[in-house]
């Protein structure tokens, strides 16, 4: 009887290992994601109350991020994909000129862009993990607001707020999905 249950346990461990092996490892460095979050947080102030009306048009689809912390490798991949894809699509938006009224600290903005770029390289294999279009729908809504004269500043602020939420939530709820091994302080500049 003991032998049978031992075998069952072994079998279970094996199948879990197989699942993990079947999925190519695709990792993001948690320290870099954390620095990216902090740079984005520190480059400006809190979300302006006067921008609240923009929430009608820009509301991040938060359910796209798996809710609970889990050792499930599939959930990890999904969570990392949400981080990757959000930064990737935001990167395209950030290639546009920022409106002059936006008083973001340029030095921190440049460092944020640098870290973002680094994560894009690191997480390239995450591209296409999920076929969901909900994020692209969100980003086209953001772009629509940015293109409207008078609402661009609030559009940028909303995008920044939502990116901060994504990075922070992923780091908190899916802490173990990131690699934390080597402490590589982000290079300045
Ligand atoms: C984008 O805007 C459309 C129209 O307002 C809305 O139906 C849709 O839910 C929005 N997409 C997201 C992801 O918020
Ligand atoms: C917000 O969405 C509504 C309805 O889709 C649209 O009429 C309006 O122009 C949008 N506002 C901005 C600032 O893009």
Domain that holds residue 53: 30-177
74 or 114: which leads in pLDDT: 114
185 or 60: which leads in pLDDT: 60
Whether 21 maps to a domain, the answer reads no
Kindly give the number of the ligand 2 atom that is closest to the alpha carbon of 154.
13
State yes or no: pLDDT of 110 exceeds 80: yes
Query: How large is the average pLDDT for residues 123-141?
Result: 90
pLDDT digits (tens, 9 = 90+) for 7-28: 666 666 555 555 444 455 678 9
Whether 103 maps to a domain, the answer reads yes
Helix, coil or strand: residue 24: coil
pLDDT at 149: 83
Whether 160 maps to a domain, the answer reads yes
Query: CB of 151 closer than 6 A to ligand 2?
Result: yes
Whether 20 maps to a domain, the answer reads no
Query: 25 CA to middle of ligand 1, Å?
Result: 33
**pLDDT cut 70: percent of the chain above it:** 81
Query: CB of 61 closer than 6 A to ligand 1?
Result: yes
Whether 10 maps to a domain, the answer reads no
Residue nearest to atom 3 of ligand 2 (CA): 57
Written in H, E and C, the secondary structure of 68-130 is: CCCCCHHHHHHHHHHHHHHHHHHHHHHCCCCCCCCCCCHHHHHHHHHHHHHHHHHCHHHCCCC
**Please, which pLDDT band fits residue 189 given cuts at 50, 70 and 90?**
very low
Mean pLDDT taken over the chain: 86
Whether 189 maps to a domain, the answer reads no
Least confident segment among 56-70, 110-124, 145-159: 56-70
Whether 63 maps to a domain, the answer reads yes
Whether 1 maps to a domain, the answer reads no
Residue nearest to atom 2 of ligand 1 (CA): 141
68 or 174: which leads in pLDDT: 174
Ligand lying nearest the CA atom of residue 143 = 2
Angle in degrees, 0-180, between the axes of helices 30-42 and 106-122, rounded to the nearest 10: 160
Domain count, the chain: 1
Q: What is the pTM of this model?
A: 0.83
Kindly give the number of the ligand 1 atom that is closest to the alpha carbon of 56.
5
pLDDT at 186: 53
Query: CB of 144 closer than 6 A to ligand 2?
Result: yes
């Amino acid at each position: 009887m003991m032998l049978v249950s031992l075998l069952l346990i072994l079998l279970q461990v094996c199948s879990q290992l197989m699942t993990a092996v079947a999925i190519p490892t695709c990792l993001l460095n948690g320290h870099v994601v954390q620095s990216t979050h902090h740079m984005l947080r520190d480059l400006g102030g809190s979300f302006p109350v006067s921008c609240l009306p923009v929430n009608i048009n820009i509301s991040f689809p938060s359910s796209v991020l798996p809710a609970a912390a889990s050792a499930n490798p599939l959930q990890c991949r999904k969570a990392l994909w949400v981080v990757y894809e959000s930064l990737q699509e935001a990167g395209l938006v950030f290639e546009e000129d920022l409106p002059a009224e936006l008083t973001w600290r340029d030095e921190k903005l440049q460092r944020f862009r640098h870290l973002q770029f680094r994560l894009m390289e690191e997480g390239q294999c995450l591209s296409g993990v999920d076929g969901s279009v909900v994020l692209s729908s969100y980003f086209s809504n953001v772009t629509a607001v940015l293109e409207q004269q008078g609402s661009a500043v609030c559009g940028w602020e909303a995008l920044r707020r939502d990116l901060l939420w994504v990075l922070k939530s992923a780091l908190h709820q899916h802490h173990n999905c990131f690699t934390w091994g080597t402490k590589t302080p982000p290079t300045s500049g």
